[in-house]
Structure 1
């Protein structure tokens, strides 16, 4: 079966856009005619496979946030979940999202629960997401669960967009710097090299400049191949458990990155805890489920120790205090929440404050990165230009 995107007119002459599932194009046209539509354009956008799709990208964070928000609105309006999924599937959903919804819809028609249907696509939905849906099914407040998840995903999407837009300018500067270096060493310096023919004793910086230019002209193909191979190697290594554990350990030791790593994990853990407690989950079980959202293996191990202490009868605050996620200020908030019995509000407050702290850290880093990139470009390119000028001046000195 495949997904076909179509443009058509209904019986009253109105324009209709959407997607239809069929085994081939003639079957898609027949299905549209059965629906009383007059198609003007029908094209295949994706072929269904064992995974999500071979011809479309993975479901993005924006797609996931869109799906969660739409399901929350539809459920709040009284639309049943299977009907809501079919409605979203027929809209202008991207091919990967349309195929995902098609798989979920099929599972629901086979009698599977919503949480199980989502859990079968674990490459898109994490365990916390599926566990919350399961709790929403049991308690009957699915719309509230989807609303909470959509707010959390919206924050992640906004932050992702902000980081990408902030890094765009430094990335352009870095790219221009590389192009400038390539141009200088491949075109400018080779033309200048004839000026130094026959000179016996050249200054060391002139020799370095000429040697570097000659090396780049002779081996820049290998250099490019090495860069590509390095990138491929990093992408492959990033999937290896050993490399991931090593990198996670390094992230907790680097001065600037360590703070961001802890803040991000604190946001994940506390936002999950807040939603779990709000859904009526007992705190010991909520810690177990929310702990699954922690990605860093070192911090996850610390949380596992805290979970075992809480299960053993220890108070919540002392157990969480021994982890790296909670500095003194947040520990005092936990104490207040534990004594007042209002942990949901405390976890939500910690997650909110941590989000603001991470936004502030991101803005500071991106603001600092721009002048550093300009300084790097000016220093490197300017240094090469200065060496060129000094080399030309040195010819006169040698001649004298």
Structure 2
């Protein structure tokens, strides 16, 4: 089956656009006509082979949030799950999501539950998602489960966006700085060099400037290739499990990076635990699933130890106190929650406080990095300009 994107008009003359699956363009045209639509444009969706790093087009986090939020709304309105999937598929969903929904609908039509159909797509739905959906099916609370999952996915997307936005500005400043340096050493300094008839009599700083300019012109292509090769090399290294483990261990030892790493993982772990405990999962099962939300392997191992302790009868708070994820203050909150039997609310409170901590850290780092990078760019570019002016003054002094 192929995915076709269409634009059409309904019987009232209003514009309609969307997507549908069909064997051929003629079949897609016939399907639209059977719906009472007059197509003005219909074309097959051509999926890109991959992005810069070879990753194929797939369902994104935004697509998954859209699907989860829509399912929550439709199911809460009394729409059956198969009808809800069909409504979302016929909406303005991305083609990758359309194919996913088609596969899930096909499996449901064969008699599978929604959780079983989703489990066949482990690259999109993680074990936490699937287990909560299965729990919602058993308890009849699927709308509420999807609402909680949508909220969690929205936070994860906001977190991802904040991290990217906090890194974007420094990278832009760095790129501008590099472009300025390349422009100066390729176009400005070479024109300046024609003013000097006897290079050996020039001041040392002028000779260094001209020498650096000549070196960059001779080797800048090799430097560019080396940078590109380094980027691909780093990407390849991060795909190696051994290197990734060493990198994650190193992050937890660097003072400036340890705190945000722990805060991010604490948010993921506690928000997942809060959802599962509210849904009625036992604590050992919830710990096992929430552990999968943690990306850092060192912290994952610590949580596996906690799960085993709790499973064998140990108290939760003392066990979590022995991990790197919970400072003393949060352990005190957990002790209160454990005594009152309201752990879900405490885990949710810890997740919210950790979100505020991370947002504060992001704002501080962005505020600090911006002026430092501007000063660095101004120092480099301004230093080159000063050397050029001093060189011109030196030439005039020699000529005099």
Instruction: Tell me the TM-score normalized by structure 1.
Output: 0.93
The more displaced of 242-251 and 272-281 is 242-251
CA distance in 2 between counterparts of 1:232 and 1:177 reads: 22
Alignment of 1:234 onto 2:272: no
CA distance in 2 between counterparts of 1:232 and 1:270 reads: 34
Shift of 1:244: 1.3
How many residues were matched structurally? 396
Pairing 1:35-46 to 2, within 5 Å after superposition: 35-46=35-46
Per-residue CA deviations over 1:55-93 (Å, capped at 9, x if unaligned) read 983322222211111111111111111211110110011
Shift of 1:163: 4.0
Alignment of 1:216 onto 2:216: yes
Residue number in structure 1 paired with 2:135: 135
Alignment of 1:81 onto 2:81: yes
Shift of 1:398: 5.7
Residue number in structure 2 paired with 1:160: 160
The more displaced of 68-77 and 327-336 is 68-77
**Equivalent residue of 1:206, what SS?**
helix
Residue number in structure 2 paired with 1:184: 184
Per-residue CA deviations over 1:201-257 (Å, capped at 9, x if unaligned) read 544332332222111111211111111111112222221112211221121122222
Residue number in structure 2 paired with 1:291: 291
Shift of 1:119: 2.2
CA distance in 1 between counterparts of 2:301 and 2:206 reads: 55
Shift of 1:342: 0.6
Shift of 1:46: 4.2
Per-residue CA deviations over 1:18-56 (Å, capped at 9, x if unaligned) read 21111221111122122222211111114699xxxx998
CA distance in 1 between counterparts of 2:56 and 2:302 reads: 39
Q: Indicate how the Cα distance of structure 1 residues 312 and 201 shifts in structure 2: closer, same or farther if over 3 A, else same.
A: farther
The more displaced of 237-246 and 313-322 is 237-246
Q: Indicate how the Cα distance of structure 1 residues 352 and 181 shifts in structure 2: closer, same or farther if over 3 A, else same.
A: same
Per-residue CA deviations over 1:371-390 (Å, capped at 9, x if unaligned) read 11111111111121122223
Residue number in structure 1 paired with 2:199: 199
Alignment of 1:346 onto 2:346: yes
Instruction: Tell me the TM-score normalized by structure 2.
Output: 0.93
CA distance in 2 between counterparts of 1:55 and 1:31 reads: 33
Residue number in structure 2 paired with 1:253: 253
Please say if residues 262 and 325 of structure 2, whose CA atoms lie closer than 8 Å, have aligned partners that are also in contact.
Answer: yes
Shift of 1:392: 2.9
CA distance in 1 between counterparts of 2:115 and 2:48 reads: 22
Residue number in structure 1 paired with 2:311: 311
Alignment of 1:15 onto 2:15: yes
Give the CA RMSD over aligned residues: 2.1
Pairing 1:83-98 to 2, within 5 Å after superposition: 83-98=83-98
Shift of 1:3: 0.5
Please say if residues 2 and 46 of structure 1, whose CA atoms lie closer than 8 Å, have aligned partners that are also in contact.
Answer: no
CA distance in 2 between counterparts of 1:247 and 1:129 reads: 28
Q: Indicate how the Cα distance of structure 1 residues 2 and 262 shifts in structure 2: closer, same or farther if over 3 A, else same.
A: same
The more displaced of 364-373 and 337-346 is 364-373
CA distance in 2 between counterparts of 1:58 and 1:365 reads: 32
CA distance in 1 between counterparts of 2:40 and 2:269 reads: 50
**Equivalent residue of 1:280, what SS?**
coil
CA distance in 2 between counterparts of 1:29 and 1:47 reads: 21
The more displaced of 101-110 and 6-15 is 6-15
CA distance in 2 between counterparts of 1:76 and 1:152 reads: 18
Q: Indicate how the Cα distance of structure 1 residues 47 and 215 shifts in structure 2: closer, same or farther if over 3 A, else same.
A: closer
CA distance in 1 between counterparts of 2:199 and 2:164 reads: 50
Shift of 1:399: 6.2
CA distance in 1 between counterparts of 2:199 and 2:48 reads: 69
Per-residue CA deviations over 1:150-200 (Å, capped at 9, x if unaligned) read 111112223333444444443332222122111100011111122333232
Residue number in structure 2 paired with 1:107: 107
The more displaced of 344-353 and 215-224 is 215-224
Alignment of 1:125 onto 2:125: yes
**Equivalent residue of 1:3, what SS?**
strand
CA distance in 2 between counterparts of 1:208 and 1:139 reads: 75
- Structure 2 stretches of 5 or more lacking a match? none
